[in-house]
Amino acid sequence: MKQSIFLIALLILIWSCNPSKTPEITEPAMTYSFLVGTYTDSSSQGINELTFTPAANKLEVKLVAPGVHNPSFVVANSKGNLVFSLEEDMSKTGGNVMVFNRSEPGKPLAPIDTIPSYGDHPCYVALSPTEDYIAVANYTGGSLSIFRLNSESKLDYLQTIQHQGKSINEARQEKPHVHSTVFSPDGKYLLAADLGTDKIYVYSFDPSQEKPLTLTTEYAVTPGDGPRHLIFSPDGNEILVVQEMTAVLEVFSFDMGVITPKQRLSLLSDGFTGAVGAAEVRFSPDGKNTYVSNRGDANTISVFGKKSTGEYERIQQISSGGLMPRNFNLTADGKYLLAAHQASNDIVVLERDTETGKLTQTDWKVSVNKPVYLFRLPN
């Protein structure tokens, strides 16, 4: 009996000295993916896909659709399996709108459809909230076109609306230049920013109609502003507009198609006297901050926060890390901002403080020929 007790005690002692280790569970390193729109100089260039894995110190770009001419704007549906691009060109029927199948990350895109944009130099494409309509801004054509995505993932042309008029800058506002087309979050409206006429056009959108767009409002901005891109606030009650030619971020309320001005915020440092070219505006994924890029001699990203009063305030201005930051985007977790530089032919990464929203330069940079748009793909 005493011998059995001794053996049991000895086994317990041995086990306590050599406990079995629970295997550690290691999460896979996060990889972020973006489509990259470009201006092309040869048929060997086109649409690219960028992958960024911070933990592995990897920032890479791969060509996924060669031969697409000037795909300056490229987006995907929420599943990431359909890609929509432009060919920013001119002809009797304008540029082109293209649809691709994206079967796997990093694999070549498979063309599904190409259709004219019915306006010269298309520069912006928007997917409706229901992801079955496409709106295109034709910059030189001064028009916008809308298409329906059919069951075969091809585009059916529906309507083109031609803008009329001009504004005070004879060199750049000699005629309409539609620069963006943006659906409201509820899908009831389409807004078009026209740099040439200094107006924001509000169209009601009714997909049950043969021609779904009907003009409801023309809102005139300050002459010479040159409205370029706009976004809706997360709640849909505000629109934030980049005024390209005056380097201003302007805030408006938006209520059932009615636009009311609220605030104008400069993107320039005190005493700045160089050339400007405000370009893109985006909210952080958490909705706390707004980011705006400025080109010209500035080459900056401005960071804005929101006060308890509802007003916006600039909290930081930082170099974008290159020349001509035409576009930028943030990772889905809001930890990084990637800036695409058309003139320095690169994409650089800035780290974002998720508490303050402020940005910090990093050493991550990758070379790309004239990158001008970044679209965040689902992880």
Nearest of 325, 332, 347 to residue 283 by alpha carbon: 332
DSSP state of 150: -
Q: Is the residue at 77 inside a domain?
A: no
Given a contact cutoff of 8 angstroms between Cβ atoms, the answer to whether 292 and 350 are in contact is no
Q: Which domain holds residue 125?
A: 90-161
| Residue 339 CA to its chain's centroid (Å) | 11
Given a contact cutoff of 8 angstroms between Cβ atoms, the answer to whether 45 and 369 are in contact is yes
The pair of structure tokens assigned to 314 is: 């600039």
Q: Is the residue at 295 inside a domain?
A: no
Based on the structure, what is the number of domains in the chain?
1
Q: Is the residue at 197 inside a domain?
A: no
Output the pLDDT for position 25.
53
Given a contact cutoff of 8 angstroms between Cβ atoms, the answer to whether 347 and 362 are in contact is no
DSSP state of 19: P
Q: Is the residue at 246 inside a domain?
A: no
Q: Is the residue at 314 inside a domain?
A: no
The answer for residues whose C-beta is within 8 angstroms of residue 352's C-beta and 6 or more apart is 284, 330, 334, 335, 336, 337, 358, 359, 360
Q: Is the residue at 126 inside a domain?
A: yes
Sign of CA dihedral 215, 221, 223, 225: negative
Distance (Å, whole) CA 279 – CA 200: 16
Its pTM stands at 0.93
Cα atoms in the 13 Å half-sphere on the side-chain side of 244:
26
* Ramachandran class of 368: left when φ > 0, alpha when ψ lies in -120 to 50, beta otherwise: beta
The answer for residues whose C-beta is within 8 angstroms of residue 21's C-beta and 6 or more apart is none
Per-residue pLDDT tens digits of the chain, which is 379 residues long: 445 555 555 445 444 555 544 455 556 789 999 999 999 999 999 999 999 999 999 999 999 999 999 999 999 999 999 999 999 999 999 999 999 999 999 999 999 999 999 999 999 999 999 999 999 999 999 999 999 999 999 999 999 999 999 999 999 999 999 999 999 999 999 999 999 999 999 999 999 999 999 999 999 999 999 999 999 999 999 999 999 999 999 999 999 999 999 999 999 999 999 999 999 999 999 999 999 999 999 999 999 999 999 999 999 999 999 999 999 999 999 999 999 999 999 999 999 999 999 999 999 999 999 999 999 999 8
Q: Is the residue at 309 inside a domain?
A: no
Tell me the residue ranges of DSSP E strands in 235-299: 238-243, 248-255, 258-266, 278-283, 290-294
Output the pLDDT for position 27.
64
The pair of structure tokens assigned to 145 is: 């076109």
Given a contact cutoff of 8 angstroms between Cβ atoms, the answer to whether 109 and 84 are in contact is no
Q: Is the residue at 146 inside a domain?
A: yes
